[in-house]
Every structure is written in structure tokens, then in C-alpha cells.
A and B are shown apart, each in its own frame.
Chain A
């Protein structure tokens, strides 16, 4: 079965840094990089809604999520331990297009926890023979860089604190003209800045949007955004949109 709801076992739970966790859950269905699941890791009606979390990585029989604790829902997810179950609805959304010719030069641009969906993209792109460079910015301590390095990706790092890598914005490091394609996920201001720079340089850019969500499947219209092609649901028509439909 493709998209469905399942009670998935928690297989592995790692604390990656202070507030960032990696959760591996059992999952057999098809997945694409850039898709997401609705996660519910608690009983009862509070929190009422499941939480959207991107696919970080996947393999035979499992899917990984990388998430940052922000409120009650993610706090409850971080309290899960191997042997617990969580409810997964997915895989949802369109995902990144990784079906590119070998040798294509792709830049992945991430801000903070926005790096999460880029690992799956890196894996799919490397498998297709693309040259992949990650540009990533963190407030202070970086995480999951080694996962990208293990795939043979170049890594360019920036931090606000300057303790690691370039002190400043990751956007300072990126020259879009050196790439055939750019994928970006992070804070809205960063995504807009990257997308506009790419559009100006005529380099195709794909943006993974975030929005508050209730259903995750295109039914509630709570995650609608304006696009060049009219109103679209972030959850169903996205979360990945070509930069030109959002920002032109």
C-alpha cells in the first residue's frame, strides 16, 4: 500500500545535539526524498494534531526523522524509546525530483533543522551520480554533517556564532552560478533570499516550504500559499515548489 496510517515501532532514538533528535521507525511503504509524515507519538487528544516531520533518510524497512524540540508535540516525540510505537501517516507531499542526469551539479542549502530533508535528497542525488555540495548554516553547533560527508558530498558551513565554519550567513558562501540546480530548506527569509539569488542567476531552484498543518493531505486548506499558478496546498501540492512559482 502506498500512503497509509500505521502503528510503527520505534527502532532507534538518538540525541544528536541538545535539542535535536533522530528517530528511526519501522516503515515498509514507498518514500521519496523531501516527503514528510504526520507523526503522533502520544495517546489521547492533547496535543490534538499529529506533527509534520520530513523524511530525513530511509532504507529497507525503516525511515529516519531528524527533529528539533520546539513545543509539547516534539517534546513528546523526543520521549519515545525503542519498543514504543508511534502513529505514522504518509508518506505525504511531492518530494524532491532526484531523477537527474549523472554529473549534474547540485547545491543543497539548509538552515538549522531545515537540513533534515536534505540528507535524503543527497542520498538520492548521489545514487544518480550527481555532484552534491551542502551549504548549511547553524546558530552555533552543527549536526549531521558527517552523514553528508559519508555520501561524498562537499560541505560548506556557516554559524551565527562563528565557532564553527564561516561566521555569518550560509547565503554568503553560495554562488548559484556554480551549480545546475539548487534545493533549499530552512527559515522563510533564508529560502526567499536563496531563491531570488538563483532566479536572478537563472539557476533552477526548488524550495521546501513549511506551514502550520492540520490534515497533511490537502483536506483542511490550512496550509495554502499563493503561487503563480493560483492557491496551492503546501502539504499536497508541495512541500517542494519551484522557486519561480513562489517568488516571481
Chain B
């Protein structure tokens, strides 16, 4: 029996399978090479990079909840130019399609970052308008359609690269937000970023994180993320990348049946390095076992 075809086309870029590692959970790829065959992945997404380098947030940055993780990293990164000069070349050599995740504190920041990335070999840009952990920018552009329209339009003008806009579950009207991004020139959307959350240290009677609120990810958010991906898939014609709490091939197939073109694996990478490659292999096995000759046949069947 011939093997199922699980290749996907994401905004004109061919991925050998639909599994991409999510921004901020896979470093710049290199961190995982001791533990797994990174080339077995469909894609790898960089940590969020910004035009201006950032230390990120002070104080504690991680807290665990039942089947979830709250993070307050705050986009620690060496800046887009450093990324291009030092991290990107090695990342491109790993094999999977590379997504550069771009953040920014202002529209000008986003534009400048996109212009720099436009001159590189990176095949895809993921525009992060959904980071809950930075004071300026980030999620500020991801809640109201009008502010998102402006950033996407301006970044669209700054680059010819395929542009995937990463949406926040905090968007006022997610379907409308996705349509707005499509109208403003996005080639695809990805969702979800983390859910804005809070943890309190009752002994200190203070929030756990200096920044007060932080982002919840992991298996705890999966059913809500899946519903949101399903809604967005029905609202737009461009490809949708689904993520939020995926830890197994079965989870990934759920997102694809909900309509996602590709999926991302985030927090699960912290369960065990190598899990994303296991998920890709698991999708292959599931398709082979179920006589699904082409993964595209099951997409959006729900």
C-alpha cells in the first residue's frame, strides 16, 4: 500500500507535513537538534522578534496550572537584524520551512521589521498582533478590527513574502477579525495565541507576574482553541493554521478536520523535546491506517 500524502501547501510554500513548531516554544530550532530530527517537521517558527531588541519581562516568567502553562516572557529577543545575521541562517539549514514571527511596539516597528525580513531567504512571515505580555503593541493591535487592519495593511505594503497574521483569542469578534486581516492583504491567519490569564500568590497577596496578566497555553485551552479555529475557517477563504493545546496526532487531526491547513505545536514541546516529530509521524500513521490517501481529503470535514 502506498503511503498517504500528508504534504500541505501553506500560502504557496510546500510543507512536507502539516506540523509546525509554534513561536516561543522552539527557540530558533537549534536548541532541539540534540534531541530530535528537526528535519522531520513541516515547519519551524522563530521566537517573536522585534525591530528593537528586548530583554523581556522582569520577575517570574512561568507558572503551571492543571494541564496548562502561564507565561510572561515578554518577547525577549535580540532584534530582527541580529536574528537575520545570526539565528536565521542556521535555522534555514535545518530543512523545514521557516516562519519568522514578527512582533512590534508600534506600526513603524512592524513595518521596519518586515522590510528587513523581506530582504532575506525566509519563506513565510507570521505577524504577531496577539502577544498579551508586552505593554506596548502586541495584543493592542489584535483586539479591535480597525487597529489590526492598519498594521496588516502597512506590513503588507512592506513585504512581498507570504504573510500569516497570528490572531488573539481576545479579539472582540474573531470571525470579523480574520475577515479584516484577509481584506487587508493577509495570505493566511494562525490562531490561537495565548489566553490572557492571571495567577495570584496568596502568601504575598500579589500577582505571580510583575506584569499582572500573562498568557495561558497548553492542553487546558484546546477545546476552546479548536472551536475558534472552526469558526475562523468558516469566515475566511485564506489558509488557517490551527493551534492551542495540541499534544498528539489525534489533537492535530481534530484541528485539520475543523478546517486548518496546518497546525502548530507549542507548549507540548516542553513535555518532551521530540514530541512535534512524533505528532507528524502519528498523522502519517493515522492516514495510512484509515485509508486516507491525501490529508487534504479530510480537511474541514466537520
Residue contact B24 to A215, C-beta cutoff 8 Å: no
A95 to chain B, nearest CB (A): 16
Chain A, residue nearest B275 (CB): A5
Please tell me the size bucket of the interface on B.
20 to 34
Q: Provided the pairs A221-B47, A224-B56 are in contact, do residues A212 and B63 lie with their beta carbons within 8 angstroms?
A: yes
Q: B271: which of A4, A45, A221, A222 is its contact (CB, 8 Å)?
A: A45
CA A50 to CA B270, docked complex, whole Å: 8
- Is B25 an interface residue when CB atoms closer than 8 A count as contact? yes
CA A94 to CA B98, docked complex, whole Å: 29
- Is B282 an interface residue when CB atoms closer than 8 A count as contact? no
Q: Which of B233-259 contact A (CB under 8 A)?
A: 247
Q: Which of A32-55 contact B (CB under 8 A)?
A: 40, 45-50
Chain A, residue nearest B31 (CB): A219
In the complex, identify which listed stretch (B10-18, B67-75, B141-149, B186-194) lies at the interface while the others stay far away. Answer: B67-75
Q: Which of A189-241 contact B (CB under 8 A)?
A: 212-215, 217-224, 226, 231, 236
Q: A4: which of B35, B64, B219 is its contact (CB, 8 Å)?
A: B35
Residue contact A40 to B34, C-beta cutoff 8 Å: no
- Is A75 an interface residue when CB atoms closer than 8 A count as contact? no
CA A213 to CA B67, docked complex, whole Å: 16
Q: Provided the pairs A3-B35, A231-B55 are in contact, do residues A217 and B273 lie with their beta carbons within 8 angstroms?
A: yes
Residue contact A49 to B272, C-beta cutoff 8 Å: no
A234 to chain B, nearest CB (A): 11
CA A224 to CA B54, docked complex, whole Å: 12
- Is A87 an interface residue when CB atoms closer than 8 A count as contact? yes
Residue contact B76 to A224, C-beta cutoff 8 Å: yes
Chain B residues whose CB sits within 8 angstroms of the CB of A40 once the complex forms: 271-272
Q: Which of B24-68 contact A (CB under 8 A)?
A: 24-27, 31-32, 34-35, 47, 55-56, 60-64, 66-68
Residue interface bits B200-219, CB-to-A below 8 A is 1, else 0: 00000000000000000011
Residue interface bits A83-114, CB-to-B below 8 A is 1, else 0: 00001010000000000000000000000000
Task: Enumerate chain B interface residues (CB-CB to A < 8 A).
Answer: 24-27, 31-32, 34-35, 47, 55-56, 60-64, 66-69, 71, 73, 76, 218-219, 247, 267, 269-274
